[in-house]
Amino acid sequence: MIDAAGTPQTIRLSDYRPPAWRVPQVALDFNLGAESTRVTARLTVERNGKRSEPLVLDGQGLTLVSVKRDGVALDVQPVGETLTIDIPGDSAVIETVVDIAPATNTRLMGLYASGGMLCTQCEAEGFRRITFFPDRPDVLSVYDVKLTADAALYPVLLANGNEVATGQLPDGRHWAQWHDPWPKPSYLFAAVAGNLSPLRDTFVTASGRTVDLAIWVAADDVPRCAHAMAALKTSMRWDEVNYGREYDLDRFNIVAVGDFNFGAMENKGLNIFNSRYILADADTATDADFDAIAAVVAHEYFHNWTGNRITCRDWFQLSLKEGLTVFRDQQFSADQGSAAVRRIDDVRMLRAGQFPEDAGPMAHPIRPDSYIEISNFYTATIYNKGAEVIRMMATLLGPDGFRAGTDLYFDRHDGQAVTTEDFVRSMEDASGVDLAQFRNWYAQAGTPHLDARITHDAAARTAQLHLSQTLAPTPGQPVKPVMQLPLRVALFGGTTGKRLGDERLVSLTEASATIDFDNIDEPPVASLNRGFSAPIIVQSDRSRADLAFLSAHDDDPFARYEALQQLGQATLLDSGDDSDLVAAIGATLNSGLDAAFIAEAVLLPSEAMAGDAMAVVDVDGLHTRREAVRRRIGSDLNAQWWAVYHANNANRYELTPEAKGRRRLRNVALGYLMANDDAEAVATAFKQFETADNMTDRMAALNVLSHSNAPERDAALAAFHARYADNALVLDKWFSVQAMSTRADTPAAVAALMTHPDFSYTNPNRLRALVGAYAANQVRFNAADGSGYRLVADAVLAVDALNPQAAARLVSPLGRWKRFDAARAALMRAELERIVATEGLSKDVFEIASKSLV
Ligand code: 0A1
Ligand code: ZN
């Protein structure tokens, strides 16, 4: 809502009130056309208790044709974005008729056109762009939906639930009628019309019901759906086994679309996906793409219970469904391959995406107190930190306690729209564990810091672990409470390398505490926050030698990885000798551990990660230093890297965890071999590029070449573009690899790519592939002349007029100005000010840009 002065209004959790009217039944009739669609909605409304307000319906961009109350025409008009209807009694049937224009809907919210089909996106507040409705998640309705469309243009007509009737009309149009028996909020409504072909399969549930599964795509893409289908079936079984949750409709449909603002959407019985999370084969998708597809398919499927059967009372509770569902998809992925490597990936994502958010101007708790535009709160905090909070509860309750907690949550709240508090109370009631202090995790923003020191009393044979925690102020939260931190810790003998006693779960509930260990006969080295048991930043007095020691001896794979990463981080931040790091990497290469693990461990922290640990990011110094360390690792261990490269060459392509791990390690080796840009390495990379039988190896070769000055670089880029000119998802990779190049000419190259015929402001994937990737290229986006900032701000303004959600996502890199030197900070602020001063700005962009200037 925009007030009279034109300032967007803040929505507050403290203002929540239950709806005045309920809508138990909805009948929607769509007369579909790309240019114009007529939507007739019949809402059965009932007064909620003694509430006296009129019925207030949300509507945005709708052309109102008529309104009836109990069959009688009313003379009412919308005011701003609401339509108010007086109802004398306690119930009524309200019928509205509106016209909408899918073809010109560039926001991709509501009903829109993509690649010749019509599809919907309603979360969070898109349903109001389809029809007048109380568009809030605590209004649950049973939907009957009739779709009528041209049979040649749109032979397939899909909506939520089960298909109940179909028919042909004499004018070449046809129709389908769908019924969803499960009451749902409007944000889970979906409809699709298109010329689509299915990949079909079936799944028999634990209680013996057969579910018809279908993934709908363009006919040519059907062969690329097999991996997604396999992931769907694995997810359905996994949720039965691990959470006792069975699917609850006769059909499960997935549709892939090329233009989509996010990753995918869990609409009841009709998931709609960004095609990048469905389509894959060896020639066009990397191993990482395959893994992401399985994770997103699982995520959306798991929402059927955590999100759909039990939904959110209001949008402040978003992490109720998202944090829990991310945790569930992380557990699922961990079960499909190496759990340790998945944990490393999850933590890397949290540190790269969420920690900076928690340290910046948009920092918010996983249950925010206020927002201007809810679309801006689909964040790494709500999703990934939300998942860490669930994980900590699982750690504190133990597997049986946690399962009892989720069982109780499903029993107690099935069919309801609830709060994060309801979830925590189920956990407490089922397990008897007191989570009073733990609830701070829902209300507090910011990443706790933990300081850990160890002392040893040789005479008494004891050790003491001294822990203290702090949480810095965040916007609107100057004073922070003490947090409860579940810490898995163990001690290792510095002489024998053996673990001293069992791992312990320490629950730190005070600002500081000392933990005593008995029977400690040798100087101990502490393994801290094992498995990343709490989403915090640990500072310790462990020496470089201690870290090298743990990188060789720790028996927790995450902690072992972490030790080498911290040694790498220390090396990037100091200018001193790095031979201990080189030796530790060499030892890890020889450790005999799983290839996928080694590949992650031996990589240096990114420039962004190292920058986050500095008081002021030294953009150029850090890049120079990191490149020097990489060259040293590449040359000192040259023979080992070549050996790894050759030893991990596969005869033929396979998609097993082992084969993926070997590809990963081999390509990490190639990266180190290329660090010195020597001719043999360049020739090897180019040969790999040309002869690879899969996208992982081809893309890895293109990636290492992209940073190089060798002529093979341009040849490879040209060949790649020619080969994949017809495949939008692969062309996205072609844009990204250039935007992420560390070459000094990247700013100019990105500026040129913005005018490439294949670039488009309207496709969110393409926009993210070029502009989003560039903004994550620390050394080149932060070019000292401010050209990177200007380019991104120009893109924000160009996109805002078309798609505010996509534009808003590009603003946050500029909001990090406090982390940079005064000259860069001034340049970034100037761009933010230019954005905020632009007339007609969306509230999406306004919220992030204005908060970033504070
Ligand atoms: N609930 C989806 C995320 C999502 C949110 C908004 C969207 O449209 C703008 C689309 C998807 C999920 O968690 O996957
Ligand atoms: Zn989700």
Helix axes 287-302, 695-706, angle to 10 degrees: 120
pLDDT value for 218: 98
Residue 52: what residue type? S
Mean pLDDT across the stretch 701-713?
A: 98
Residue 321 Cα: closest atom of ligand 1: 13
Residue 109 Cα: closest atom of ligand 1: 9
CA angle 294, 295, 299 (to 5 degrees): 120
Q: Above 60 in pLDDT, residue 562?
A: yes
Which ligand has an atom closest to residue 123 CA? 1
Mean pLDDT across the stretch 643-655?
A: 96
Q: Is the Cβ–Cβ distance between 320 and 531 less than 8 Å?
A: no
Active-site residue identified among 95, 123, 125, 300: 300
Q: Which pLDDT band holds residue 5 (cuts at 50, 70, 90)? A: low
pLDDT value for 575: 82
The set of residues, in sequence order, having a beta carbon less than 8 Å from that of 705 and lying 6+ positions away, is: 674, 682, 685, 686, 689, 712, 713, 716, 717
CA distances from 205 to 66, 201, 225, 576 (A): 45, 13, 22, 60
Task: Look at ligand 1, atom 12, and give the residue with the nearest C-alpha.
Answer: 265
CA of 264 to the centre of ligand 2 (A): 8
CA of 300 to the centre of ligand 1 (A): 9
Following DSSP, what letter does each residue of 335-391 receive, concatenated? HHS-HHHHHHHHHHHIIIIIHHHHTSTT---SS-SEES-GGGG-SHIIIIIHHHHHH
Which ligand has an atom closest to residue 108 CA? 1
CA 284 – CA 297 distance, rounded (Å) = 18
- Phi, psi values for residue 243, rounded to 5°: -130, 5
Q: Above 60 in pLDDT, residue 288?
A: yes
Following DSSP, what letter does each residue of 69-124 receive, concatenated? ETTEE-----BTTEEEE--SSSEEEEEEEEEE-GGG-TT--EEEEETTEEEEE-TT
Residue 805 Cα: closest atom of ligand 1: 9
pLDDT in tens, 751-787: 999 999 999 999 999 999 999 999 999 999 999 999 9
What tokens appear for 610 in the block?
Answer: 């190292």
CA of 265 to the centre of ligand 1 (A): 5
Total length of the chain? 854
CA 342 – CA 287 distance, rounded (Å) = 13
Task: Look at ligand 1, atom 1, and give the residue with the nearest C-alpha.
Answer: 265
High-pLDDT (> 90) share of the chain, %:
98
Q: E-strand spans in 185-283?
A: 191-194, 197-204, 210-217, 251-257, 264-265, 270-274
Instruction: Characterize the bridge pairing of strands 141-150 and 21-31.
Output: parallel
CA of 170 to the centre of ligand 2 (A): 42
Q: Is the Cβ–Cβ distance between 685 and 700 less than 8 Å?
A: no
CA of 825 to the centre of ligand 2 (A): 34
Residue 322 Cα: closest atom of ligand 1: 13
pLDDT value for 739: 99
Q: E-strand spans in 262-349?
A: 264-265, 270-274, 311-312
Q: Above 50 in pLDDT, residue 1?
A: no
CA 158 – CA 624 distance, rounded (Å) = 55
Pocket of ligand 1, candidates 112, 261, 265: which has the most ligand atoms within 8 Å of its Cβ, to mutate? 265
High-pLDDT (> 70) share of the chain, %:
99
Among the listed residues 695, 660, 569, 571, the one whose alpha carbon sits nearest the alpha carbon of residue 280? 695
Per the prediction, the chain carries an average pLDDT of 98
Residue 124 Cα: closest atom of ligand 1: 6
Mean pLDDT across the stretch 399-409?
A: 99
What tokens appear for 295 in the block?
Answer: 């994770």
pLDDT in tens, 145-170: 999 999 999 999 999 999 999 999 99
Residue 124, preceding peptide bond in cis (omega within 30° of 0): yes
How many helices (H) and strands (E) the chain has is answered by 29, 30
Among the listed residues 346, 232, 202, the one whose alpha carbon sits nearest the alpha carbon of residue 298? 232
pLDDT in tens, 302-339: 999 999 999 999 999 999 999 999 999 999 999 999 99
Mean pLDDT across the stretch 75-84?
A: 98
pLDDT in tens, 470-496: 999 999 999 999 999 999 999 999 999
pLDDT in tens, 34-51: 999 999 999 999 999 999
pLDDT value for 148: 99
CA of 378 to the centre of ligand 2 (A): 9
Query: Residue ranges per domain, the chain?
Result: 1-195, 312-442, 449-541
pLDDT in tens, 571-606: 999 988 899 999 999 999 999 999 999 999 999 999
CA 452 – CA 468 distance, rounded (Å) = 7
CATH number of 1-195: 2.60.40.1730
Quickly name the fold that domain 449-541 has.
Immunoglobulin-like (2.60.40)
CA of 264 to the centre of ligand 1 (A): 6
pLDDT value for 550: 98
CA 768 – CA 795 distance, rounded (Å) = 11
Which ligand has an atom closest to residue 804 CA? 1
Beta partners for 785?
A: none
Please indicate whether the domains covering 1-195 and 449-541 agree at the CATH topology level.
yes
Task: Look at ligand 1, atom 9, and give the residue with the nearest C-alpha.
Answer: 261
Q: Is the Cβ–Cβ distance between 605 and 584 less than 8 Å?
A: no
Q: Mark 629-656 as b/e (b = at least 16 C-beta within 10 Å).
A: bbebbbebbbebbbebbeebeeeeeebe
Residue 383 Cα: closest atom of ligand 1: 13
Q: Where are the alpha helices (DSSP H) in 20-68?
A: none
Kind and range of the H or E run holding 21? strand 21-31
Count the alpha carbons within 13 Å of 747 in the hemisphere toward its beta carbon. Answer: 16
CATH architecture of 312-442: Orthogonal Bundle (1.10)
- Phi, psi values for residue 786, rounded to 5°: 80, 5
Q: Which pLDDT band holds residue 7 (cuts at 50, 70, 90)? A: confident
Pocket of ligand 1, candidates 184, 373, 378, 809: which has the most ligand atoms within 8 Å of its Cβ, to mutate? 378
Strand order across the 270-274 sheet: 197-204, 210-217, 251-257, 270-274, 264-265
Q: Above 50 in pLDDT, residue 4?
A: no
What tokens appear for 425 in the block?
Answer: 């109370």
pLDDT in tens, 788-842: 999 999 999 999 999 999 999 999 999 999 999 999 999 999 999 999 999 999 9
Among the listed residues 556, 536, 649, 671, the one whose alpha carbon sits nearest the alpha carbon of residue 603? 671
- Phi, psi values for residue 47, rounded to 5°: -65, 140
CA 626 – CA 273 distance, rounded (Å) = 38
Task: Look at ligand 1, atom 2, and give the residue with the nearest C-alpha.
Answer: 265
Whether the CA torsion 588, 594, 598, 600 is positive or negative: it is negative
Among the listed residues 851, 818, 846, the one whose alpha carbon sits nearest the alpha carbon of residue 368? 851
Kind and range of the H or E run holding 844? helix 843-853
Please confirm, yes or no, whether 300 is among the known catalytic residues.
yes
**Which residues' Cβ are closer than 6 Å to ligand 1?**
121, 123, 261-266, 299-300, 322, 378, 805
CA 307 – CA 540 distance, rounded (Å) = 40
User: What pTM does this model have?
Assistant: 0.99
CA of 411 to the centre of ligand 2 (A): 21
Q: Above 70 in pLDDT, residue 296?
A: yes
The structure tokens 């250039």 sit at: 738
Q: Is the Cβ–Cβ distance between 539 and 579 less than 8 Å?
A: no
Among the listed residues 354, 372, 351, the one whose alpha carbon sits nearest the alpha carbon of residue 363? 354
